[in-house]
Structure 1
């Protein structure tokens, strides 16, 4: 079995036998900006078993010979943590705002996630330079305001959002036929959280584990059914909500209490 190194330490994933799919084809066939998400936290040792059992025809995103990609996301929130609290409390009008940088290429997208009908997640995004200051610029603030207004979220002033959390990780993306709707799954490894500068230097790192997220229709996908047969069920995990609860003593665990205390193996460290 071939081992693919996603980062140090390596993640033992047998991905080399899967047929590749280009970014253009993936976007055309299964962009899935409106979808039902299911998330799983699994030991990295489970990944080869899962990959061996998923449906024939599964393909993996490949760009310039790479099959895993480094990401950095900066989440923006109000001083009152409206995004964190409404998500953790399961509110209908919840939202996330983040800048996602693809570290292999340097491109950054400004993304807004809201809730659609029947529990779907709606992600809208626009290419935008990485925002490193304490406030969104005028273009970014205007875009966020439009997207939140379209989702009937009018209590948040985007110009007042500030950086709240930074995450880094490596991701591989799979796609497989899923009936009428193609289904995607992502594997995130080497996940690390930190608070933005000038907050404390502590980091929280997910040790020996990966986060699998399936993205498709309301019907469970082949990705999901194989995970269930291997004894893994969806859990409530949010990179933003979980990470903020891990690093800040002044916020509650909310709906992430179970995953934090029962499913995650966390290593604490200091950022370089």
Structure 2
């Protein structure tokens, strides 16, 4: 399947999921994120001269993702992130729509702002709720990683959907993703799409990847964005945007979608 707007990537070598996970699993990693106008992102990727391989499965190179984020009624997870607390966490289900596979994931901040992601297989039919076994996993994981558990009942607070292209960079054994058509929706609310822009995310060790350095040379700088927290702040102006205020107000063009 074509990568669409990023047609140059159709001509790059493919990498299988098994090989990608073997070479760059990166469950503990440093993430750098960029919100980039679509045409600038295409130009920058086309001009990237280093070796790049594109994840391909069953002839596809673009894959649909659906994530549901959970928080307490007091929005503890969101507020911990908004105020930059060290022992913050995120809880979500992630569904790989094309393959019908889901995971329950717990993400925490490790040493030096590295993201630590742990996950277990989950039934797609349970993606919008937490089962007793799922809650046990969350509590055990958070008790071990940050020394505490959520103080209230966890419930869905926001859902994201997008199409993703995943790149492998052999020179740094790192990966990057291009997220297109990103949408956010609060429970029972209207969906909003990131209009005319894509999210580029690099996932590497502590050192910047060759793609990071290329984007910087291209005048594209990282920004603070979290699909969970920035989406919450963008859709609910009453929440403290704090770390994402500039992103929400200047670099996150949202367009409401018809119901």
TM-score with structure 1 length normalisation? 0.90
Cα distance in 1 for partners of 2:207, 2:12 equals: 24
Q: Which residue of 2 aligns with 1:189?
A: 180
Q: What is aligned with 1:103?
A: 97
Note the C-alpha offset of 1:165: 0.3
Over 3 Å counting, the alpha-carbon distance change for 1:177 and 1:254 in structure 2 is: same
| Contact 1:20 1:61 (8 Å CA) reproduced | yes
Contact 1:204 1:246 in 2 (8 A): no
Indicate yes or no: 2:108 matched with 1:114: yes
Give, in angstroms, the shift of residue 12 of structure 1: 4.1
Structure 2 partner of 1:240: 228
Deviations along 1:82-126, whole A, 9 cap, x unmatched?
111111111100000000001101110101100111111001111
Give SS of 1:15's match. Answer: helix
Alpha-carbon distance in 2 for matches of 1:121, 1:85: 18
**What pairs with 1:165-204 in structure 2 (closer than 5 Å)?**
165-179=158-172, 182-196=173-187, 199-200=188-189, 202-204=190-192
Over aligned residue pairs, what C-alpha RMSD do you find? Answer: 1.7
Alignment match, 1:49:
43
- Of 223, 227, 230, which aligns to 2:215? 227
2:156 matched to 1:163?
yes
* Pick aligned residue for 2:83 from 71, 89, 93: 89
For structure 2, the residue ranges without an aligned partner over 5 or more in a row are none
1:137-163 Cα deviation digits (max 9, x unpaired): 1110111111101112414157x1000
Give the superposition deviation at 1:177.
Answer: 2.4
Specify the alignment match of 1:216 in structure 2.
Answer: 204
* Residue correspondences, number: 258
